[in-house]
């Protein structure tokens, strides 16, 4: 995982498909991903100096690297309707949501402001490449990559997150102060979620190429020290059990439409004369108990398809455009053999055994073995390169690969 690319601006490499999980990585200060997960993940903070060695090598060569994404580009992205952007000012604290016009954004040298843009993997390929470095953590846990650009003094105040986060310094310097304090009460008089009391326990200055990992509920405060300071945050989802079970139940209820037997009406030929007619009939309870037992609602496997479908749903603001000049079904399959097919940056793909879910739908259901295998490769590798396993079949109208392409969920890698 060591990158020695010294191009300017920095061009992050895409991680290899087969990550060496038991080997030391510079990204984690010379320890392996396996050790990181065992010792630090969800347990304690970790500061890694020179997590991206290219920045240090370039500085020694007196050719310091700049961020993969310029300030101008970030400002332009924040003006898009599809971008989830926030502008925060300190002294006093204020908060506004994008899209932002050029006039609404501060000058890069102005103090005490921060511009935050979520889901940058959908807007710039460098962000998507950075995310590939963290695929030793299950895809179901990944949320997105947020870029924060700030002027001197810029920050969002002392706060805590309910999820794990990697904070990568990409340009300029930022002072981080953290605390493992138990008091996480928020100040009710501010427009932001800022801690009422913050007692600093550790303090560091991160330079370009450094990274700080924080598990959930660690209080932290980052202050930009330079104009145009950029911090890239890789965040992870942490849904509540209530959320997961509710979503699983909701999708399970939808799936009952596929069970014809449940269309039959309740009948009670064995019902006896009742002395308590106000009570729910014991015969009804008995039959419902039997149906629920047959549906295996007491088994976790019954809920997992719905939970997987939910976790594979794209972000609410995701926008997918159909191809401008769509290929015919036959041309699509020929193209699959010649080039690389990729999920759209906002597409989410997860697997449950051999079933693959894409953007909330089971795309392997009622598909041929060849199509199922193709989806399996897309889910595992997030790319389908020169795939010839489909042979030369006629593409049926309900072929899920072609349907996903037509919906804009799958795209072809542009020729260089």
pLDDT digits (tens, 9 = 90+) for 375-384: 999 999 999 9
pLDDT in tens, 227-237: 999 999 999 99
- The pLDDT-based confidence of 343 (bands split at 50, 70, 90) is very high
Comparing 292-296, 340-344, 355-359, 388-392, the range with the smallest average pLDDT is: 388-392
Comparing 53-62, 196-205, 253-262, the range with the smallest average pLDDT is: 253-262
Residue 381 confidence (pLDDT): 93
Supply the mean pLDDT for the chain: 92
Residue 292 confidence (pLDDT): 86
Residue 8's nearest CA partner among 51, 70, 60 is 70
Task: Report yes or no: 72 and 171 within 8 Å, Cβ to Cβ.
Answer: no
Half-sphere exposure of 19 (CA within 13 A, CB side): 20
Please check the confidence at residue 92 and state whether its pLDDT lies above 90. Answer: yes
Cβ of 244: how many Cβ atoms within 10 Å?
15
Mean per-residue pLDDT, 95-114: 95
Which tokens go with 2?
Answer: 């060591």
Please check the confidence at residue 415 and state whether its pLDDT lies above 70. Answer: no
Please check the confidence at residue 50 and state whether its pLDDT lies above 50. Answer: yes
Question: How many whole angstroms separate alpha carbon 297 and alpha carbon 286?
Answer: 15
Please check the confidence at residue 392 and state whether its pLDDT lies above 80. Answer: no
Please check the confidence at residue 258 and state whether its pLDDT lies above 90. Answer: no
pLDDT in tens, 312-328: 999 888 889 999 999 99
Please check the confidence at residue 363 and state whether its pLDDT lies above 90. Answer: yes
3-state percent breakdown (helix, strand, coil) of the chain, nearest 5: 30, 20, 50
- The pLDDT-based confidence of 389 (bands split at 50, 70, 90) is low
Mean per-residue pLDDT, 233-246: 93
Residue 396 confidence (pLDDT): 59
The DSSP symbol for 86 reads E
Question: How many whole angstroms separate alpha carbon 222 and alpha carbon 45?
Answer: 15
Please check the confidence at residue 397 and state whether its pLDDT lies above 90. Answer: no
Domains and CATH numbers, the chain: 26-236 (2.60.120.650), 329-412 (3.40.366.30)
Residue 182 confidence (pLDDT): 96
Residue 1 confidence (pLDDT): 40
Mean per-residue pLDDT, 334-362: 94
Residue 390 confidence (pLDDT): 66
Please check the confidence at residue 2 and state whether its pLDDT lies above 50. Answer: no
**Strands, E assignment, 201-322:** 202-206, 211-214, 219-224, 229-236
Task: Report yes or no: 198 and 218 within 8 Å, Cβ to Cβ.
Answer: no
Mean per-residue pLDDT, 158-187: 97
Please check the confidence at residue 104 and state whether its pLDDT lies above 70. Answer: yes
Residue 220 confidence (pLDDT): 98
Please check the confidence at residue 394 and state whether its pLDDT lies above 70. Answer: no
Residue 4 confidence (pLDDT): 42
């Amino acid at each position: 995982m060591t990158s020695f690319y010294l191009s300017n601006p920095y061009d992050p490499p895409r991680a290899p498909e087969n990550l060496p999980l038991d080997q030391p990585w510079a990204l984690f200060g010379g320890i392996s991903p396996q050790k990181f997960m065992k010792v630090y993940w969800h347990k304690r903070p970790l500061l890694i100096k020179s997590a991206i060695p290219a920045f240090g090598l370039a500085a020694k060569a007196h050719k310091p690297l700049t961020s993969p994404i310029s300030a101008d580009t970030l400002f332009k992205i924040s003006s898009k309707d599809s971008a989830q952007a926030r502008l925060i000012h300190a002294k006093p604290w204020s908060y506004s949501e994008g899209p932002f016009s050029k006039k609404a954004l501060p000058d890069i040298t102005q103090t005490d402001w921060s511009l935050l843009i979520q889901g940058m993997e959908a807007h710039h390929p460098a962000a998507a490449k950075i995310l590939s470095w963290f695929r030793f953590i299950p895809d179901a846990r990944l949320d997105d990559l947020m870029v924060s650009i700030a002027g001197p003094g810029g920050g969002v105040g002392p706060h805590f997150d309910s999820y794990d986060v990697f904070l990568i310094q990409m340009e300029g310097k930022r002072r981080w102060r953290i605390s493992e304090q138990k008091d996480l009460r928020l100040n009710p008089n501010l427009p932001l979620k800022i801690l009422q009391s913050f007692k600093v326990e550790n303090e560091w200055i991160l330079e370009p190429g450094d990274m700080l990992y924080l598990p959930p509920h660690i209080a932290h405060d980052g202050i930009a020290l330079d104009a145009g300071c950029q911090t890239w945050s890789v965040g992870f989802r942490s849904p509540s059990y209530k959320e997961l079970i509710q979503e699983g139940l909701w999708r399970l209820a939808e799936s009952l439409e596929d069970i014809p037997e449940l269309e039959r009406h309740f009948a009670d030929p064995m019902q006896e004369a009742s002395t308590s007619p106000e009570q729910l009939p014991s015969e009804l309870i008995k039959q419902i108990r039997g149906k629920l037992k047959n549906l295996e609602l007491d088994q976790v496997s019954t809920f997992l398809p719905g939970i997987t479908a939910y976790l594979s749903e794209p972000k609410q603001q995701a926008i997918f455009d159909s191809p401008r000049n769509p290929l015919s079904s036959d041309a699509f399959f020929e193209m699959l053999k010649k080039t690389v097919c990729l999920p759209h940056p906002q597409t989410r793909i997860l697997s449950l055994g051999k079933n693959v879910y894409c953007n909330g739908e089971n795309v392997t259901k009622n598909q041929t073995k060849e199509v199922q295998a193709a989806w399996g490769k897309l889910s595992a590798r997030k790319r389908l390169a020169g795939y010839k396993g489909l042979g030369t079949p006629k593409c049926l109208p309900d072929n899920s690969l072609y349907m996903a392409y037509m919906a804009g969920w799958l795209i072809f890698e542009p020729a260089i």
